[in-house]
A and B are shown apart, each in its own frame.
Chain A
């Protein structure tokens, strides 16, 4: 079954993006691909680039900033295909962001 691993980090605590951080993510991608679990994974631009929109009374309201005012922000994700939750959590724990932020693991709903 497929799981989404959402990487939340606190920009104030996260180490700046560096070559060694990039190398750690690259190495994880390779391990996930070799194990056949990686479906996709993307990193997001910093939360300062976020704009949010909602439709109220048919009118779009656009706000600067993220949906929720929290300390930790969504920074990226992995979509992985694993046998079960234990395996998904074992992979999520290897995401470099887990070392300073939190990785939330959610199963994907299967329709039909």
Chain B
């Protein structure tokens, strides 16, 4: 993009860093999400022309917000002269005058991104739409980059995003920070989106030039700056940092997943771990992300504190009773109390998780430990068929080939200490 000149480079940098801030400011003033999005896109197109001629302005964010406001007024003028459009033009002209009266300082524009993220993560929108809209609106990914995250075609993703904005306007989805009554549930919806952004990046690695793990950490830090002192936001950031800190160590040279207890600890990022521990140090009420961060912290101990992990998983079930949470609980339980406990907890999950590779991998390991070699072999075969990557399939194949002959029953739990049973983090 360097050959597009300094104006384009400046615009790219501003949109990458501050698109969310500009969009939030425009939604706040225009009061209509789809119009604000269009206005910002038109403002960005004019910026390319004007900045190429006159050089980038001193405060590009303020320039884009002001230009966006004018574009929105123009859009109302172009449409049929409806009475309510005339009222909107009058209202926006006042907003524009108010901007003109302010000194031209980006720092003086109130930060409306907290309201924007609660809109993008509103429970009236589908989960996938929440993630996509947050990436587009607050992280400044292009529609093509968001499409790449979901392996969707760009036009499909573009339609999903514009339908979502239209729904926000038509259904009256608020552009507001929820009140104390709704705060815990709505904050959880926002933090869940941030965590999904993170896990998408963790699974895929940097894609389309954007590292989603970094974007998730950016969002968590942004939330924390905008609403300091919230223990759940702190816990969410800690959870991301604890996982991110081990990122360099999570795969071996062959690309296969390495379980935390076998990872090369010299590759862990000590500064990130220290920051996460500091975030978790103050006492806090029991809440989902606090528990998840606590569970992630258990992986740092050598050996991992499985009993504590199983207890935290059980408490997490009170908030999120899902088959995947139950699977994690079963694995921790198996490590803490033995294969029989794990198999008893896994049995009721078979129907819900039959297409979920980690379920079969966990079942295979605990069956092997319980001496049920034939069943373990069958479970490995299922896990291998569902493996997400060739390296993970190879890991599972190696574990399966370690199984003793069916004809030679071995001592139960015989190799429990020798190798980890699963390549999956709980």
B378 within 8 A of partner (CB)? no
Question: Which A60-92 residues have C-beta < 8 A from chain B?
Answer: 82-88
Q: By the criterion CB–CB under 8 Å, are A84 and B82 in contact?
A: no
Q: Which residues of B contact A112 (CB under 8 A)?
A: 82-84
Q: By the criterion CB–CB under 8 Å, are A86 and B174 in contact?
A: yes
Q: By the criterion CB–CB under 8 Å, are B174 and A84 in contact?
A: yes
Chain A, interface residues (CB within 8 Å), range = 10 to 19
Q: Which residues of A contact B176 (CB under 8 A)?
A: 83-84, 86
A1 to B31 Cα, complex, angstroms: 12
Number of interface residues of B (CB under 8 A): 13
Partner of A1, one of B124, B172, B178: B172
Q: By the criterion CB–CB under 8 Å, are A82 and B82 in contact?
A: no
Q: By the criterion CB–CB under 8 Å, are B84 and A107 in contact?
A: no
Q: By the criterion CB–CB under 8 Å, are B170 and A107 in contact?
A: yes
Q: Which residues of B contact A83 (CB under 8 A)?
A: 174, 176
B182 within 8 A of partner (CB)? yes
A110 within 8 A of partner (CB)? yes
Q: By the criterion CB–CB under 8 Å, are A88 and B84 in contact?
A: no
Partner of A85, one of B82, B83, B174: B174
Question: Which A96-112 residues have C-beta < 8 A from chain B?
Answer: 107, 110, 112
CB distance from A112 to the nearest CB of B (A): 5
Q: Which residues of A contact B173 (CB under 8 A)?
A: 84-85
Residue of A3, A84, A87, A107 ringed by the most chain B CB atoms within 10 A: A84
A86 to B177 Cα, complex, angstroms: 11
A84 to B173 Cα, complex, angstroms: 6
B2 within 8 A of partner (CB)? no
Q: Which residues of A contact B171 (CB under 8 A)?
A: 85, 107
CB distance from A1 to the nearest CB of B (A): 5
Chain B, residues 314-330, CB within 8 Å of chain A (1/0): the string is 00000000000000000
Q: Which residues of A contact B83 (CB under 8 A)?
A: 112
Q: By the criterion CB–CB under 8 Å, are A86 and B182 in contact?
A: yes
Q: By the criterion CB–CB under 8 Å, are A82 and B172 in contact?
A: yes
Q: Which residues of A contact B172 (CB under 8 A)?
A: 1, 3, 82, 84-85, 88, 107
A96 to B122 Cα, complex, angstroms: 26
Residue of A1, A85, A86, A88 ringed by the most chain B CB atoms within 10 A: A86
Question: Which A4-23 residues have C-beta < 8 A from chain B?
Answer: none
**Given A107-B170, A107-B171, A107-B172: A85 and B84 within 8 A (CB)?**
no
CB distance from B118 to the nearest CB of A (A): 10
Name which residue of chain A comes closest to B186, CB basis. A86
Chain B, residues 153-192, CB within 8 Å of chain A (1/0): the string is 0000000000000000011111110100010000000000
A78 to B371 Cα, complex, angstroms: 64
A88 to B174 Cα, complex, angstroms: 11
A84 to B175 Cα, complex, angstroms: 8
Chain A, residues 32-48, CB within 8 Å of chain B (1/0): the string is 00000000000000000
A86 to B124 Cα, complex, angstroms: 10
Q: Which residues of B contact A82 (CB under 8 A)?
A: 172
CB distance from A54 to the nearest CB of B (A): 28
A4 to B248 Cα, complex, angstroms: 54
Q: Which residues of A contact B124 (CB under 8 A)?
A: 85
Q: Which residues of A contact B182 (CB under 8 A)?
A: 86
Name which residue of chain B comes closest to A89, CB basis. B124
A110 to B124 Cα, complex, angstroms: 21
Q: Which residues of B contact A88 (CB under 8 A)?
A: 172
A87 to B174 Cα, complex, angstroms: 9
Question: Which B46-80 residues have C-beta < 8 A from chain A?
Answer: none
Q: A86-B176, A107-B171 are in contact. List 13 more A-B contacts (CB 8 A).
A: A1-B172, A82-B172, A83-B174, A83-B176, A84-B176, A85-B124, A85-B174, A86-B178, A87-B174, A88-B172, A107-B170, A107-B172, A112-B83
- Chosen A-B contacts, 5 in total, with CB atoms closer than 8 Å, are A1-B172, A83-B174, A86-B182, A107-B171, A112-B83
* Chain B interface (Cβ < 8 Å from any Cβ of A): 82-84, 124, 170-176, 178, 182
